[in-house]
């Protein structure tokens, strides 16, 4: 079972394979944004990896990061990542201070769109 460490918050045990965006919300208790509902459209679910960044990237994540011009190293979409190992992330897109009415509707259990 992987440990997800959220800088400034703590380290949390997360079921292996769980979507990072959902783990950030459920196990880690953060207010991570996911405005589009986890379908790789909006990039508000982005986090910055401090350690444990997965090498693999879904085609949808590649496409939307490119389209939105997100090029900062280590910045990834938590809706496109499964918790398959220990990770340390920094929250860079939170509900608090966002001015939005909510964090976004609940993301599905499986990565969407299905990885190519």
Binding residues for other proteins (CB under 8 A): 1, 3, 9-13, 15-16, 27-29
Contact 76, 42 (CB under 8 A): no
Instruction: Enumerate residues 6+ apart whose C-beta is below 8 A from 51.
Output: 5, 86, 87, 88
Reading the block at residue 114, the tokens are: 């299905």
Closest distance of CB 62 from other proteins, Å: 29
Shortest reach from residue 10's CB to other proteins, in Å: 4
Residue closer to other proteins, measured from CB, 12 or 95:
12
**What DSSP state is assigned to residue 83?**
-
Q: Residue 69 or 96: which CB sits closer to other proteins?
A: 96
């Amino acid at each position: 079972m992987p440990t997800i460490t959220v800088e400034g918050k703590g380290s949390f045990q997360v079921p292996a394979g769980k979507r990072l965006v959902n783990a950030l919300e459920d196990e880690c208790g953060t207010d991570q944004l996911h405005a589009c509902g986890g379908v790789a459209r909006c990039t508000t679910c982005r986090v910055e990896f401090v350690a444990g960044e997965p090498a693999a990237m879904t085609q949808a994540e590649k496409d939307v990061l490119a389209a939105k011009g997100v090029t900062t190293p280590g910045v990834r979409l938590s809706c496109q990542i499964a918790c398959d190992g220990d990770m340390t992330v920094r929250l860079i897109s939170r509900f608090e201070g966002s001015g939005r009415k909510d964090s976004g509707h609940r993301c599905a259990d499986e990565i969407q769109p299905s990885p190519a």
